[in-house]
Structure 1
């Protein structure tokens, strides 16, 4: 393997484009502290790749992950619509339960993927509360987040079976290539399908209206899903507070306030 281009760094990992001895272009992510991060990402990519478009995992080790290179294209309405259909089918493929059999990570932060009986229990115990404790928020902010957790059974919407979800589906983790969206950097697990859609909306995605419209045609969402978007954004906003500090606190607390005003 020879390195062809340095792509900078992300969360302590060096990112490079490289060429294998057989001439294939690959993406290499290397370094960092936690050896399980790359194996977790590879497991998630392979699992999602059973039913969705992801880069091929070429090699995974404690110190690096090598993926097939994804040539970038500009997003188009047609690609967004194809992606919306594929996303609905991926979610519909399902999961054995809420959680995953591999250790979870989002960026370089560990997440507990131990199973739970239902999604509200999983979201509360495995996602929201652990990150609320790590976010160095004021005590009053934490109390409001705990109120959201108490209300989860009432605000989570009708029960759904565990979906096969990406788990960190902000727009930067969708590469446009081959006429569709290619999923990268997953925090994959059995979860709630509305989580992925709320993540796409959090920082905006190209042609999001087309993605959602086609998704609805392929796999209609339960009534009230738009009102539940802030609920599903609480965890990723907590992650951003942990990673980047208080600049994301106001957005987090706006989402919390919207959840509390809806039914709690």
Structure 2
């Protein structure tokens, strides 16, 4: 994987994106994303979790003891046990993860749907799949279109294919998740600010916009967070045929299987005995 063309392309995209996450705008967005993610995973416990992140680590907020990081090449591995493999062929067994986090990688991988299917395959029945992505209809994206050139990243309108990011809407990801029997439990939006409304120096203005946007969960934030879980199949149930007469119950606890036929047989036997008694009875004089 580390020497393949796909690995080289993803490594270049990771290198390019880290310029944004190291900037002031990237750090502020990472902070609000951590605020969204914290209540979701801080109380979760278990054995293993996987993190595919473009920016700094976010799973250090959870109590899961074993965090596996995925990277496209060895050059960006921060752990001795980092997972280096194609994103569409993750080398882990089925249902082994309590938390699976994809942080903005679906915008850069060559086959986002296949990567999402792999992440769903690894998530346990009781686990949770968390996806972060840039919102195509967010205020920041609107600002970039009105004021081109103010931000070099993230953007999805660059002419260079190696730097192009394909932003996916929440409806598209919901359809992909439904195809693998996952259901979206909640979508949270964060990053409610933009140069048209608040400059970088007006921290109070940015905090006010962020507080109101998070409270109302308006779908105009710069980023979204999707929480998804596997659909739990319902236990098979067989419909009961209520054709039994309760008065004919022959069991102390109620009507048992075959009690209806047994009651009918007893009624026929009783009628036959009654007929025999009537025939043998001498006529009265």
TM-score tier after normalising by the smaller chain length: under 0.3
More helix by share: 1
TM-score (normalizing by structure 1): 0.27
Larger radius of gyration: 2
Point out which structure has higher relative CO (alpha carbons under 8 A, 6+ apart). 1
TM-score (normalizing by structure 2): 0.26
